[in-house]
Amino acid sequence: MTTIQEPPVADRKPRRPRRARGRTELYTSYGQEMSLLNTRGKQLGVLAIIAIAAYLPLGLEDDMLAVLGGGLVLAIGAIGLNLLTGYAGQVSLGHAFFVGLGAYTAAVLSGDPDGRYLGFGITNPLIWIPAAGAVAAIAGFLVAPLATRLRGLYLAVVTLGLVFIGQYFFLEWRSMSGGAQVGRDAATPILFGIDLTRNGAYSDEQKLFWFFLVVLIIFALLARNIARSKVGRAFSAVRDRDIAAGVMGVELSRYKQIAFVISSFYAGVCGSLLFVLNGHVSAEQFGLLLSVQFIAMVLIGGVATISGSIMGALLIALLPQIAAEVPHLLPFISSSARESPNIFELEIAMYGVLIIAFLLFEPRGLYGIWMRIRTYWKGFPFSY
Amino acid sequence: MNEFLTAGGVGLGNGAVYALLALGFVIIYKSMQVISFAQPAFMMAGAILVSYLSPRFGFWVGALLGVIAIAAVALIVERVAIRPMVGKAVFVIAIITIGVDIVVRVVAGSFVGVDPRSIGDPWGLEAITIGGVRFQERHIAAILAAAIIVTLLFAFFRYTRIGLAMRAAALDQEAAMAQGVSIGTVFAVSWGLAGALAAVAGVFAASGNVIDRSLWMLALVALPVIILGGLDSLGGAVLGGLIIGLVEAVVRTYHSTWFPFLGTNTGSIAPYVLMLLVLLVRPHGLFGTKEVERV
């Protein structure tokens, strides 16, 4: 008979686990491995990127800032779609509908109460951003019971139907949306008494860029936390094999519903901000092309990665600029809309080509390219 | 009553076009378990190509050449962009077809030009009157063409070796391969057939109209059709096409009496609303095979 000696519990002081110096991937506690940014390199890298992004408005032209600012907003929507499609595996072509709901909610709330269209005059973005998200989330909640019954491509087609039905109502409800080809003013952000869309000490593009950046950081952190929590792991289980996940005790319909609601919330927030830059919302913009663009952002950036969604969104936002540069290189492509082939056609074709090329050659997207670069340097001089 | 029958004629005519498109979707789905979102682009490309060919060769020869050419394009697309992805997640392949759709559409759209184009069909907007009800000849032609093509297709699947192979592959891909069925051939034939069907549908969709860049939108109606009929049912595609066509035309005719508060264009969303309603009751469509759930 041997007695097992209990370790003296009282002697163990609860110490904060320390990281071994120079061994960035040696974790000494679960907390370290599960943390938001689990290596020093990531912590410093993210800080550096945020610092550079915060400095950009002081160093770039306003035109470029407007493009990048649009990219930051699209990134919020892309993160939302990635939570739904990348993490939870529910293919949705209906993202444009929820973006539209958010855009109109924000526009109506901040609209002039005495104006031509429905408006409530609430110009504080701290109110209309969450409200836009909430309205889209409620719509997602209402759609979810239908969506959770369906799988795979059935779901893709049904969400596509949502876009058409939504666009119809946006077009027909003229007192709300301004009707076809007219549209209405986008939401105006007046934060702490400063109108972000008017030039003051800084130009409107600069102020909006900072504003978008802050919102994006908040929502990216939130998404990262969702992804590494219980909910996020349930999403992955549903994505990988939903029936198996159900057998293991993951409540399928509940988690699919949660995914839909969260994704719609993000879409709503994205929509509320998306048109602030150019100040105008019209119903035609919430069509199939916008949905496809979001899908492209997720796929080109990297499925089931938050940083990938941001990279993908920035690339898609920059595409018009890239397309505009092409006529200098290939003179047969015209920059006039009347001739064919022109840069507008080229831009749309580039979405298609990029989607095909990434899926064929780099299925993990821009994030995958980054992983390869990282692995190369980690493994240097060994190539495997 | 006459108004209703006229709507019925229009509805069946459009429904025949939807049915042809839906058959293309279903044939591809049966062979690869993928919805090819490229069908709308093939339809538009077909109509535009025929509009270039028919002034030179006449409508019938032009249409035939156009259909063959689009089938060839579909074959090439399948070989270049789809075949390397076989075995990957179906969602990934479906998204690739969206990419293909965009590229083909832009390329085809750049040939539309500024002048209005028509496919030079022999019936145009002429109509005949049967029992006091006017039927447009192009709708009758579409229904006849669809009936002939559907019969030929069913005969093809029933009586030819490759048709039998395709049915075998649809039933169980691995078992079919083990019996010596060449899956590659099955994929190629299904894409070729789908491309040809899309081009035929494009010809009828464009007949009597001016071709513009938004023609492909019409093909999207085939999506509710296949969901309604069930993704893997050829009969369901035909019936679904006719049902959707009828519902759309009837709603278009009576929307001002039924939904006066809903604006002017309820017909365009009727297919999607109908699809949602049917899916609430039957998640696999009217004739789709219920998926066996197992881990």
A contact set with B (CB within 8 A): 91, 146, 149-154, 156-158, 160-162, 164-165, 168, 171-172, 241, 243-244, 247, 288, 292, 295, 299, 338, 340-341, 345-346, 348-349, 351-356, 359-360, 363
> Residue B282: exposed, middle, or buried by beta-carbon count in 10 A (0-12, 13-18, 19+)?
middle
Within 10 angstroms of residue A230's Cβ, the number of other Cβ atoms is 10
Least confident of A83-92, A115-124, A209-218, B100-109: A115-124
Give pLDDT, residue A269.
93
In this prediction, residue B196 carries a pLDDT of: 93
Q: Note the pLDDT tens digit of each residue in A279-309.
A: 888 888 888 888 988 988 988 888 888 888 9
Tally of residues, chain A: 384
Query: For chain A, what are the domain ranges?
Result: 65-287
Long-range contact set of residues A342-346: C-beta below 8 Å, sequence gap at least 24: A345/B106, A345/B109, A345/B110, A346/B106
DSSP state of B85: G
Q: Which residues of B touch A338 (CB under 8 A)?
A: 114
Give the least confident one: A73-77, A233-237, A351-355, B47-51: A351-355
**Residue B67: partners with Cβ closer than 8 Å, 6 or more residues away:** B46, B50, B196, B199, B200, B203
Is B223 near chain A, with CB under 8 Å? yes
Average pLDDT over residues A248-261: 88
Q: Name the residue of chain B whose CA is nearest to A151's CA.
A: B283
- Which CA distances in Å does A220 have to A48, A137, A206, A207, B84? 16, 17, 21, 20, 34
> Exposed, middle or buried by CB within 10 Å (0-12, 13-18, 19+), for B214?
exposed
Cβ neighbours for A105, distance < 8 A, ≥ 6 positions apart: A128, A131, A132, A135, A136, A268, A271, A272
Residues in B touching A349 (Cβ below 8 Å): 102-103, 106-107
- Tell me the pLDDT tens digit for each residue of B35-84: 888 999 999 999 999 888 888 888 888 889 999 999 999 999 999 888 88
* DSSP run (H or E) holding A158: helix A152-172
Domain ranges of chain B: 2-216
Q: Which residues of chain B neighbour A348 with C-beta distances below 8 Å?
A: 102, 106
Inform me whether the C-beta atom of residue B102 falls under 8 Å from chain A C-beta atoms: yes
User: Rg of chain A's alpha carbons, rounded to an integer?
Assistant: 23
Whether A186 shows a pLDDT value over 90: the answer reads no
B121: closest CA of chain A, how far (Å): 26
Query: Scanning every residue of chain B, which has its alpha carbon at the shortest distance from the alpha carbon of A241?
Result: B295
Least CB–CB distance from B109: residue in A345, A354, A360: A345
Q: What is the pTM of this model?
A: 0.87
**DSSP annotation of B260:** G
Sign of CA pseudo-dihedral B214, B218, B221, B225: negative
Tell me the pLDDT tens digit for each residue of B167-201.
888 888 888 889 888 888 899 999 999 999 999 99
Cβ distance of B90 and A153 shorter than 8 Å: yes
How many whole angstroms separate alpha carbon B84 and alpha carbon B64?
A: 30
Is B286 an 8 Å CB contact of chain A?
no
Q: Is B84 on the interface with A (CB under 8 A)?
A: yes
Residues 12-51 of B with CB under 8 A from A: 34-35
The residue of chain B with its CA nearest to that of A333 is B110
Q: Is the peptide bond before A125 cis (omega within 30 degrees of 0)?
A: no
Lowest mean pLDDT among A21-35, A59-73, B175-189: A21-35
Give pLDDT, residue B279: 82
Tell me, what's the ipTM?
Answer: 0.85
> Average pLDDT of chain B?
85
Q: What is the pLDDT of residues A3-25, one digit of tens each?
A: 666 655 555 566 666 666 767 66
